Amino acid sequence: MTALLLVGAGHAHLHVVQRTDELAAAGYRVHLLAPRHFDYSGVASAIAAGALSSGVGRINVRELAGVHGVEFHEGTLESIDPETRIAVTSEGAHLSYDVLSLNIGSVVDPCGMRVHPAVLRVKPLSGLTDLDVRLRESARHSGATVTVVGGGATGLELASHLAVRRDIVQVRLVESGPVVGADLPIGARRRIGRLLAARGVDVRTGCVVREINQRQLVCSDGTAMPHDVAVLATGLAAPPLLAELGLGNENGVPVRATLQHVDRDEIYALGDCARFLPGPLPRIGVHGVRQGPVLQRSLLARLRGEPLPVYDPPRRALSILDLGDGVALAVRGRWWWYGSGPLRLKRFIDRRWLRTYREGGPTPRPE
Ligand SMILES: Cc1cc2nc3c(=O)[nH]c(=O)nc-3n(C[C@H](O)[C@H](O)[C@H](O)COP(=O)(O)OP(=O)(O)OC[C@H]3O[C@@H](n4cnc5c(N)ncnc54)[C@H](O)[C@@H]3O)c2cc1C
Protein backbone atom coordinates (compact mmCIF):
# COMPACT_ATOMS: atom_id res chain seq x y z
CA MET A 1 0.00 0.00 0.00
CA THR A 2 1.10 3.58 -0.66
CA ALA A 3 0.78 5.81 2.43
CA LEU A 4 -1.01 9.06 1.60
CA LEU A 5 -0.94 11.71 4.30
CA LEU A 6 -3.43 14.56 3.92
CA VAL A 7 -2.52 17.48 6.19
CA GLY A 8 -5.37 19.92 6.92
CA ALA A 9 -9.03 19.38 6.14
CA GLY A 10 -9.30 22.29 3.72
CA HIS A 11 -11.74 22.35 0.80
CA ALA A 12 -9.65 20.15 -1.51
CA HIS A 13 -8.97 17.47 1.09
CA LEU A 14 -12.62 17.26 2.11
CA HIS A 15 -13.33 16.31 -1.49
CA VAL A 16 -10.63 13.62 -1.45
CA VAL A 17 -11.69 12.24 1.95
CA GLN A 18 -15.15 11.65 0.54
CA ARG A 19 -13.65 9.53 -2.25
CA THR A 20 -11.28 7.43 -0.16
CA ASP A 21 -12.84 4.18 -1.37
CA GLU A 22 -11.55 4.92 -4.89
CA LEU A 23 -8.06 5.64 -3.53
CA ALA A 24 -8.06 2.55 -1.31
CA ALA A 25 -9.07 0.38 -4.26
CA ALA A 26 -6.15 1.83 -6.22
CA GLY A 27 -3.67 0.97 -3.43
CA TYR A 28 -3.58 3.92 -1.02
CA ARG A 29 -3.79 3.87 2.75
CA VAL A 30 -5.23 7.31 3.53
CA HIS A 31 -4.36 9.26 6.69
CA LEU A 32 -5.73 12.68 7.60
CA LEU A 33 -4.03 14.97 10.12
CA ALA A 34 -6.34 17.86 11.02
CA PRO A 35 -8.18 19.61 13.82
CA ARG A 36 -11.47 17.92 14.70
CA HIS A 37 -13.60 20.65 13.12
CA PHE A 38 -13.49 22.57 9.87
CA ASP A 39 -15.10 26.04 9.90
CA TYR A 40 -16.47 27.31 6.60
CA SER A 41 -15.43 30.89 5.83
CA GLY A 42 -18.45 31.63 3.61
CA VAL A 43 -20.58 32.12 6.72
CA ALA A 44 -17.80 33.31 9.06
CA SER A 45 -18.61 37.03 8.96
CA ALA A 46 -22.29 36.42 9.66
CA ILE A 47 -21.41 34.13 12.57
CA ALA A 48 -18.83 36.53 13.94
CA ALA A 49 -21.32 39.37 13.81
CA GLY A 50 -23.86 37.21 15.63
CA ALA A 51 -26.27 37.04 12.66
CA LEU A 52 -25.98 33.24 12.26
CA SER A 53 -25.51 30.69 15.02
CA SER A 54 -22.02 29.38 15.58
CA GLY A 55 -22.59 25.77 14.47
CA VAL A 56 -23.90 26.71 11.01
CA GLY A 57 -20.54 26.59 9.24
CA ARG A 58 -18.96 23.69 11.11
CA ILE A 59 -18.04 20.29 9.68
CA ASN A 60 -17.06 17.45 11.98
CA VAL A 61 -13.92 16.21 10.23
CA ARG A 62 -13.36 13.29 12.55
CA GLU A 63 -16.83 11.93 11.84
CA LEU A 64 -16.45 12.48 8.10
CA ALA A 65 -13.10 10.64 8.10
CA GLY A 66 -14.63 7.77 10.10
CA VAL A 67 -17.53 7.38 7.67
CA HIS A 68 -15.12 7.11 4.73
CA GLY A 69 -12.54 4.80 6.32
CA VAL A 70 -9.77 7.39 6.63
CA GLU A 71 -7.30 7.03 9.50
CA PHE A 72 -7.85 10.27 11.37
CA HIS A 73 -5.13 11.89 13.49
CA GLU A 74 -6.49 14.82 15.44
CA GLY A 75 -4.01 17.69 15.71
CA THR A 76 -1.86 19.86 13.50
CA LEU A 77 1.40 19.40 11.64
CA GLU A 78 4.47 20.45 13.61
CA SER A 79 7.37 19.38 11.43
CA ILE A 80 8.39 17.05 8.64
CA ASP A 81 11.57 15.39 7.54
CA PRO A 82 11.30 15.25 3.73
CA GLU A 83 14.28 12.87 3.50
CA THR A 84 12.85 10.14 5.76
CA ARG A 85 9.28 11.19 4.85
CA ILE A 86 8.09 11.42 8.43
CA ALA A 87 5.65 14.03 9.72
CA VAL A 88 5.45 14.95 13.41
CA THR A 89 2.11 16.06 14.81
CA SER A 90 1.20 18.45 17.63
CA GLU A 91 0.28 15.34 19.66
CA GLY A 92 3.78 13.94 19.20
CA ALA A 93 2.82 11.18 16.74
CA HIS A 94 5.26 10.30 13.94
CA LEU A 95 3.47 9.57 10.68
CA SER A 96 5.36 8.20 7.72
CA TYR A 97 4.17 8.89 4.19
CA ASP A 98 4.93 8.12 0.58
CA VAL A 99 2.79 10.99 -0.70
CA LEU A 100 2.06 14.14 1.32
CA SER A 101 -0.58 16.75 0.53
CA LEU A 102 -0.90 20.09 2.32
CA ASN A 103 -4.20 21.99 2.49
CA ILE A 104 -3.74 24.05 5.66
CA GLY A 105 -5.25 27.40 4.66
CA SER A 106 -3.88 30.82 5.51
CA VAL A 107 -3.37 33.43 8.21
CA VAL A 108 -3.86 37.19 8.23
CA ASP A 109 -0.94 39.11 6.84
CA PRO A 110 -0.19 41.87 9.39
CA CYS A 111 1.53 43.90 6.62
CA GLY A 112 4.36 45.05 8.87
CA MET A 113 2.12 46.35 11.69
CA ARG A 114 2.83 45.70 15.37
CA VAL A 115 -0.27 43.86 16.53
CA HIS A 116 -1.15 43.09 20.17
CA PRO A 117 -2.05 39.40 20.69
CA ALA A 118 -5.52 40.39 21.98
CA VAL A 119 -6.43 41.84 18.59
CA LEU A 120 -8.74 39.47 16.72
CA ARG A 121 -7.67 38.15 13.32
CA VAL A 122 -10.04 36.99 10.60
CA LYS A 123 -7.86 33.95 9.78
CA PRO A 124 -7.46 31.29 11.08
CA LEU A 125 -11.24 31.49 11.60
CA SER A 126 -10.80 30.46 15.24
CA GLY A 127 -9.70 34.08 15.74
CA LEU A 128 -13.13 35.30 14.72
CA THR A 129 -15.11 32.98 16.94
CA ASP A 130 -14.33 35.22 19.94
CA LEU A 131 -15.72 38.36 18.31
CA ASP A 132 -19.37 37.87 19.25
CA VAL A 133 -18.39 37.04 22.85
CA ARG A 134 -16.16 40.11 23.12
CA LEU A 135 -18.86 42.35 21.71
CA ARG A 136 -21.43 41.04 24.16
CA GLU A 137 -19.01 41.66 27.04
CA SER A 138 -18.36 45.26 25.93
CA ALA A 139 -22.09 45.81 25.41
CA ARG A 140 -22.72 44.99 29.07
CA HIS A 141 -20.90 48.20 29.98
CA SER A 142 -21.69 50.87 27.43
CA GLY A 143 -21.74 49.37 23.93
CA ALA A 144 -18.62 48.68 21.92
CA THR A 145 -16.56 50.74 19.53
CA VAL A 146 -15.08 48.38 16.94
CA THR A 147 -12.26 49.03 14.52
CA VAL A 148 -11.91 46.84 11.45
CA VAL A 149 -8.47 47.24 9.88
CA GLY A 150 -8.41 46.49 6.14
CA GLY A 151 -10.93 47.65 3.53
CA GLY A 152 -10.88 44.57 1.27
CA ALA A 153 -13.72 42.08 0.83
CA THR A 154 -13.54 40.64 4.36
CA GLY A 155 -13.16 44.02 6.05
CA LEU A 156 -16.17 45.38 4.13
CA GLU A 157 -18.26 42.34 4.99
CA LEU A 158 -17.44 42.58 8.67
CA ALA A 159 -17.78 46.36 9.00
CA SER A 160 -21.17 46.51 7.27
CA HIS A 161 -22.39 43.47 9.18
CA LEU A 162 -21.29 44.77 12.56
CA ALA A 163 -22.82 48.18 11.89
CA VAL A 164 -26.34 46.74 12.14
CA ARG A 165 -25.75 45.30 15.61
CA ARG A 166 -27.61 47.32 18.20
CA ASP A 167 -24.95 46.73 20.88
CA ILE A 168 -22.23 48.45 18.85
CA VAL A 169 -21.90 52.19 19.28
CA GLN A 170 -19.46 52.81 16.45
CA VAL A 171 -17.83 50.80 13.68
CA ARG A 172 -14.68 52.23 12.15
CA LEU A 173 -13.15 50.87 8.95
CA VAL A 174 -9.50 51.81 8.47
CA GLU A 175 -7.77 51.38 5.12
CA SER A 176 -4.26 52.39 4.04
CA GLY A 177 -5.21 52.90 0.37
CA PRO A 178 -7.24 55.76 -1.11
CA VAL A 179 -10.51 53.77 -1.27
CA VAL A 180 -12.18 50.79 0.33
CA GLY A 181 -13.18 47.88 -1.92
CA ALA A 182 -10.44 48.75 -4.42
CA ASP A 183 -10.93 45.43 -6.29
CA LEU A 184 -14.66 45.97 -6.82
CA PRO A 185 -16.22 47.38 -10.00
CA ILE A 186 -16.62 51.13 -9.55
CA GLY A 187 -20.43 51.04 -9.41
CA ALA A 188 -20.38 48.34 -6.74
CA ARG A 189 -17.82 50.30 -4.74
CA ARG A 190 -20.06 53.36 -4.80
CA ARG A 191 -23.07 51.26 -3.75
CA ILE A 192 -21.15 49.88 -0.77
CA GLY A 193 -19.92 53.36 0.06
CA ARG A 194 -23.56 54.52 0.32
CA LEU A 195 -24.44 51.50 2.45
CA LEU A 196 -21.56 52.14 4.87
CA ALA A 197 -22.53 55.82 5.12
CA ALA A 198 -26.20 54.95 5.73
CA ARG A 199 -25.16 52.57 8.52
CA GLY A 200 -22.93 55.18 10.12
CA VAL A 201 -19.61 53.40 9.54
CA ASP A 202 -16.67 55.78 10.07
CA VAL A 203 -14.52 55.04 6.99
CA ARG A 204 -10.92 56.27 7.23
CA THR A 205 -8.88 55.86 4.07
CA GLY A 206 -5.20 56.71 3.57
CA CYS A 207 -4.42 55.67 7.16
CA VAL A 208 -1.31 53.53 7.27
CA VAL A 209 -1.59 51.74 10.59
CA ARG A 210 1.67 51.34 12.50
CA GLU A 211 0.47 49.48 15.57
CA ILE A 212 -2.72 48.08 17.03
CA ASN A 213 -3.00 47.80 20.78
CA GLN A 214 -5.81 46.49 22.95
CA ARG A 215 -7.48 49.88 23.23
CA GLN A 216 -6.25 51.96 20.32
CA LEU A 217 -4.48 51.93 17.00
CA VAL A 218 -1.80 54.33 15.91
CA CYS A 219 -1.21 55.44 12.32
CA SER A 220 2.16 56.29 10.82
CA ASP A 221 1.33 60.04 11.04
CA GLY A 222 0.77 59.63 14.80
CA THR A 223 -3.05 59.74 14.69
CA ALA A 224 -4.51 57.53 17.43
CA MET A 225 -8.00 56.00 17.30
CA PRO A 226 -9.56 54.32 20.35
CA HIS A 227 -11.56 51.09 20.28
CA ASP A 228 -12.93 48.38 22.54
CA VAL A 229 -12.39 45.62 19.99
CA ALA A 230 -10.15 45.59 16.91
CA VAL A 231 -10.25 43.07 14.07
CA LEU A 232 -7.41 42.61 11.63
CA ALA A 233 -8.56 41.95 8.04
CA THR A 234 -5.55 43.08 6.04
CA GLY A 235 -5.37 40.20 3.57
CA LEU A 236 -4.21 36.60 3.72
CA ALA A 237 -0.77 35.00 3.64
CA ALA A 238 0.42 31.41 3.83
CA PRO A 239 1.02 30.08 7.37
CA PRO A 240 4.54 30.75 8.76
CA LEU A 241 4.82 27.00 9.38
CA LEU A 242 5.62 26.45 5.69
CA ALA A 243 8.81 28.49 5.91
CA GLU A 244 9.73 26.66 9.14
CA LEU A 245 9.29 23.36 7.28
CA GLY A 246 11.53 24.64 4.47
CA LEU A 247 8.73 24.09 1.97
CA GLY A 248 7.87 27.67 1.06
CA ASN A 249 7.41 31.18 2.42
CA GLU A 250 4.60 33.66 3.17
CA ASN A 251 3.49 33.34 -0.46
CA GLY A 252 2.96 29.62 0.00
CA VAL A 253 4.41 26.30 -1.14
CA PRO A 254 5.61 26.77 -4.72
CA VAL A 255 3.68 24.32 -6.89
CA ARG A 256 3.62 23.50 -10.58
CA ALA A 257 0.44 23.28 -12.64
CA THR A 258 0.15 19.67 -11.40
CA LEU A 259 -0.08 21.07 -7.82
CA GLN A 260 3.16 19.28 -6.93
CA HIS A 261 5.98 21.03 -5.10
CA VAL A 262 8.40 22.57 -7.55
CA ASP A 263 11.23 20.22 -6.46
CA ARG A 264 9.42 17.31 -4.84
CA ASP A 265 7.07 15.11 -6.82
CA GLU A 266 5.69 13.42 -3.69
CA ILE A 267 4.49 16.68 -2.07
CA TYR A 268 1.31 18.46 -3.15
CA ALA A 269 -0.06 21.78 -1.86
CA LEU A 270 -3.51 23.20 -2.50
CA GLY A 271 -5.74 26.14 -1.72
CA ASP A 272 -4.52 29.17 0.21
CA CYS A 273 -1.28 27.54 1.38
CA ALA A 274 -0.03 27.01 -2.18
CA ARG A 275 1.76 29.41 -4.49
CA PHE A 276 0.64 28.45 -7.98
CA LEU A 277 3.72 29.10 -10.13
CA PRO A 278 1.94 29.30 -13.53
CA GLY A 279 0.24 32.49 -12.29
CA PRO A 280 -0.75 34.10 -8.98
CA LEU A 281 -4.16 33.08 -7.61
CA PRO A 282 -6.23 35.10 -5.14
CA ARG A 283 -6.82 33.44 -1.77
CA ILE A 284 -10.46 32.50 -2.30
CA GLY A 285 -12.23 29.23 -1.61
CA VAL A 286 -13.02 28.42 -5.23
CA HIS A 287 -9.45 27.32 -5.97
CA GLY A 288 -9.36 24.82 -3.11
CA VAL A 289 -12.78 23.52 -4.17
CA ARG A 290 -11.73 23.05 -7.79
CA GLN A 291 -8.32 21.64 -6.95
CA GLY A 292 -9.85 18.74 -4.99
CA PRO A 293 -10.85 16.76 -8.11
CA VAL A 294 -7.45 17.50 -9.71
CA LEU A 295 -5.67 16.06 -6.66
CA GLN A 296 -7.91 13.00 -6.69
CA ARG A 297 -7.21 12.32 -10.38
CA SER A 298 -3.51 12.99 -9.88
CA LEU A 299 -3.24 10.49 -7.02
CA LEU A 300 -4.87 7.80 -9.14
CA ALA A 301 -2.82 8.66 -12.22
CA ARG A 302 0.52 8.46 -10.40
CA LEU A 303 -0.15 4.89 -9.27
CA ARG A 304 -1.12 3.91 -12.82
CA GLY A 305 1.96 5.63 -14.27
CA GLU A 306 -0.24 7.94 -16.35
CA PRO A 307 0.43 11.64 -17.06
CA LEU A 308 -0.71 13.86 -14.17
CA PRO A 309 -3.59 16.29 -14.67
CA VAL A 310 -2.99 20.03 -14.33
CA TYR A 311 -5.05 22.71 -12.60
CA ASP A 312 -6.60 25.19 -14.98
CA PRO A 313 -7.91 28.07 -12.82
CA PRO A 314 -11.14 29.79 -13.84
CA ARG A 315 -10.53 33.25 -15.30
CA ARG A 316 -13.27 34.78 -13.19
CA ALA A 317 -15.02 33.57 -10.07
CA LEU A 318 -18.29 34.59 -8.47
CA SER A 319 -17.85 36.09 -5.03
CA ILE A 320 -20.72 37.17 -2.80
CA LEU A 321 -20.23 39.49 0.16
CA ASP A 322 -22.80 39.09 2.91
CA LEU A 323 -23.33 42.67 4.10
CA GLY A 324 -25.78 41.97 6.90
CA ASP A 325 -29.42 43.00 7.40
CA GLY A 326 -30.58 40.83 4.50
CA VAL A 327 -28.44 42.22 1.66
CA ALA A 328 -25.36 41.04 -0.21
CA LEU A 329 -23.19 42.04 -3.14
CA ALA A 330 -22.39 39.50 -5.87
CA VAL A 331 -19.42 40.23 -8.15
CA ARG A 332 -18.04 38.38 -11.14
CA GLY A 333 -15.46 40.30 -13.15
CA ARG A 334 -16.99 43.72 -13.86
CA TRP A 335 -20.58 42.44 -13.34
CA TRP A 336 -22.24 43.07 -9.98
CA TRP A 337 -25.62 42.61 -8.32
CA TYR A 338 -26.70 44.12 -5.00
CA GLY A 339 -29.73 43.37 -2.82
CA SER A 340 -31.55 40.50 -1.15
CA GLY A 341 -31.34 38.23 -4.23
CA PRO A 342 -27.54 37.76 -3.98
CA LEU A 343 -27.90 36.88 -0.30
CA ARG A 344 -30.47 34.18 -1.10
CA LEU A 345 -28.10 32.85 -3.77
CA LYS A 346 -25.20 32.86 -1.30
CA ARG A 347 -27.16 31.02 1.38
CA PHE A 348 -28.23 28.43 -1.22
CA ILE A 349 -24.63 27.86 -2.41
CA ASP A 350 -23.23 27.74 1.13
CA ARG A 351 -25.90 25.36 2.43
CA ARG A 352 -25.49 23.03 -0.54
CA TRP A 353 -21.71 22.91 -0.07
CA LEU A 354 -21.93 22.31 3.67
CA ARG A 355 -24.58 19.59 3.26
CA THR A 356 -22.17 17.73 0.99
CA TYR A 357 -19.75 17.18 3.86
CA ARG A 358 -22.16 16.57 6.66
CA GLU A 359 -23.06 13.06 7.58
CA GLY A 360 -25.92 11.79 5.49
CA GLY A 361 -25.45 14.51 2.88
CA PRO A 362 -25.57 13.62 -0.81
CA THR A 363 -22.36 12.57 -2.53
CA PRO A 364 -21.56 15.42 -4.93
CA ARG A 365 -21.32 14.75 -8.63
CA PRO A 366 -17.75 14.92 -9.94
CA GLU A 367 -16.99 18.33 -11.53
C1 LIG B 1 -13.94 36.07 7.18
C2 LIG B 1 -13.62 35.45 5.86
C3 LIG B 1 -14.63 35.24 4.93
C4 LIG B 1 -14.33 34.66 3.69
N5 LIG B 1 -15.34 34.46 2.81
C6 LIG B 1 -15.09 33.87 1.64
C7 LIG B 1 -16.15 33.61 0.72
O8 LIG B 1 -17.32 33.94 0.98
N9 LIG B 1 -15.82 33.00 -0.47
C10 LIG B 1 -14.52 32.65 -0.76
O11 LIG B 1 -14.28 32.10 -1.84
N12 LIG B 1 -13.51 32.88 0.08
C13 LIG B 1 -13.76 33.48 1.27
N14 LIG B 1 -12.72 33.70 2.14
C15 LIG B 1 -11.39 33.18 1.80
C16 LIG B 1 -11.36 31.71 2.19
O17 LIG B 1 -11.46 31.60 3.59
C18 LIG B 1 -10.09 30.98 1.79
O19 LIG B 1 -9.68 31.30 0.52
C20 LIG B 1 -10.37 29.47 1.86
O21 LIG B 1 -10.84 29.10 3.13
C22 LIG B 1 -9.12 28.69 1.56
O23 LIG B 1 -9.44 27.35 1.58
P24 LIG B 1 -8.36 26.26 1.92
O25 LIG B 1 -9.03 24.98 1.61
O26 LIG B 1 -7.08 26.57 1.27
O27 LIG B 1 -8.09 26.39 3.49
P28 LIG B 1 -9.05 26.49 4.74
O29 LIG B 1 -10.47 26.56 4.35
O30 LIG B 1 -8.51 27.60 5.57
O31 LIG B 1 -8.81 25.10 5.49
C32 LIG B 1 -7.55 24.76 6.03
C33 LIG B 1 -7.74 23.83 7.19
O34 LIG B 1 -6.44 23.40 7.63
C35 LIG B 1 -6.39 23.40 9.06
N36 LIG B 1 -5.00 23.60 9.47
C37 LIG B 1 -4.35 24.78 9.61
N38 LIG B 1 -3.07 24.56 10.01
C39 LIG B 1 -2.91 23.23 10.09
C40 LIG B 1 -1.81 22.39 10.44
N41 LIG B 1 -0.61 22.86 10.79
N42 LIG B 1 -2.02 21.04 10.44
C43 LIG B 1 -3.21 20.51 10.10
N44 LIG B 1 -4.29 21.26 9.77
C45 LIG B 1 -4.14 22.61 9.74
C46 LIG B 1 -7.33 24.51 9.46
O47 LIG B 1 -7.82 24.31 10.76
C48 LIG B 1 -8.42 24.44 8.40
O49 LIG B 1 -9.49 23.63 8.80
C50 LIG B 1 -12.99 34.30 3.37
C51 LIG B 1 -11.98 34.51 4.31
C52 LIG B 1 -12.28 35.07 5.53
C53 LIG B 1 -11.17 35.29 6.52
Over residues 26-54, the mean pLDDT reads 92
145 lines ligand 1 (CB under 6 A): no
More confidently predicted of 166 and 106: 106
The minimum-distance atom of ligand 1 relative to the CA of 38 is: 49
The minimum-distance atom of ligand 1 relative to the CA of 288 is: 25
7 lines ligand 1 (CB under 6 A): yes
Over residues 107-124, the mean pLDDT reads 93
> Which of 101, 242, 284 is the best mutation target for the ligand 1 pocket, counting ligand atoms within 8 Å of the beta carbon and taking the most?
284
Q: What is the pLDDT of residue 141?
A: 73
Q: What is the pLDDT of residue 14?
A: 98
101 lines ligand 1 (CB under 6 A): no
| 233-278 pLDDT tens trace | 999 999 999 999 999 999 999 999 999 999 999 999 999 999 999 9
361 pLDDT band, cuts 50/70/90, is very low
Q: How far is the CA of 41 from the centre of ligand 1 (A)?
A: 6
367 pLDDT band, cuts 50/70/90, is very low
Q: What is the pLDDT of residue 167?
A: 87
In this structure, the residue with its CA closest to atom 7 of ligand 1 is: 42
Supply the CATH classification number for the domain 2-105+238-316. 3.50.50.60
| 220-234 pLDDT tens trace | 999 999 999 999 999
272 lines ligand 1 (CB under 6 A): yes
Q: Residue ranges per domain, the chain?
A: 2-105+238-316, 108-232
Q: What is the pLDDT of residue 359?
A: 58
Q: What is the pLDDT of residue 143?
A: 82
Whether the Cβ atoms of residue 69 and residue 21 lie closer than 8 Å to each other: yes
| 299-316 pLDDT tens trace | 999 999 999 999 999 999
Q: What is the pLDDT of residue 360?
A: 47
Q: Looking at residue 339, what DSSP letter applies? A: E
161 lines ligand 1 (CB under 6 A): no
| 304-357 pLDDT tens trace | 999 999 999 999 999 999 999 999 999 999 999 999 999 999 999 999 999 999
Alpha carbon distance 157, 316 (integer Å): 20
Classify domain 108-232 by CATH architecture. Answer: 3-Layer(bba) Sandwich (3.50)
In this structure, the residue with its CA closest to atom 30 of ligand 1 is: 105
The minimum-distance atom of ligand 1 relative to the CA of 239 is: 38
Alpha carbon distance 20, 7 (integer Å): 15
Answer yes or no: is pLDDT of 362 > 70. no
Whether the Cβ atoms of residue 148 and residue 155 lie closer than 8 Å to each other: yes
Q: How far is the CA of 346 from the centre of ligand 1 (A)?
A: 17
Q: How far is the CA of 211 from the centre of ligand 1 (A)?
A: 25
123 lines ligand 1 (CB under 6 A): yes
Closest CA to 95 of 27, 13, 19, 30: 30
The minimum-distance atom of ligand 1 relative to the CA of 48 is: 1
Alpha carbon distance 248, 72 (integer Å): 26
Asked if domains 2-105+238-316 and 108-232 share a fold, the reply is: yes
298 pLDDT band, cuts 50/70/90, is very high
Whether the Cβ atoms of residue 335 and residue 298 lie closer than 8 Å to each other: no
Q: What is the pLDDT of residue 218?
A: 97
Answer yes or no: is pLDDT of 123 > 80. yes
In this structure, the residue with its CA closest to atom 31 of ligand 1 is: 10
130 pLDDT band, cuts 50/70/90, is confident
> Which of 104, 276, 318 is the best mutation target for the ligand 1 pocket, counting ligand atoms within 8 Å of the beta carbon and taking the most?
104
154 lines ligand 1 (CB under 6 A): yes
Report the percent of the chain where pLDDT is more than 90: 87
Q: How far is the CA of 207 from the centre of ligand 1 (A)?
A: 28
Alpha carbon distance 292, 274 (integer Å): 13
Q: What is the pLDDT of residue 363?
A: 47
Q: Looking at residue 283, what DSSP letter applies? A: S
Whether the Cβ atoms of residue 155 and residue 321 lie closer than 8 Å to each other: no
Mean pLDDT taken over the chain: 94
In this structure, the residue with its CA closest to atom 49 of ligand 1 is: 38
Q: How far is the CA of 81 from the centre of ligand 1 (A)?
A: 25
β-bridge partners, 219: 209
For 200, other C-beta atoms within 10 Å of its C-beta total 12
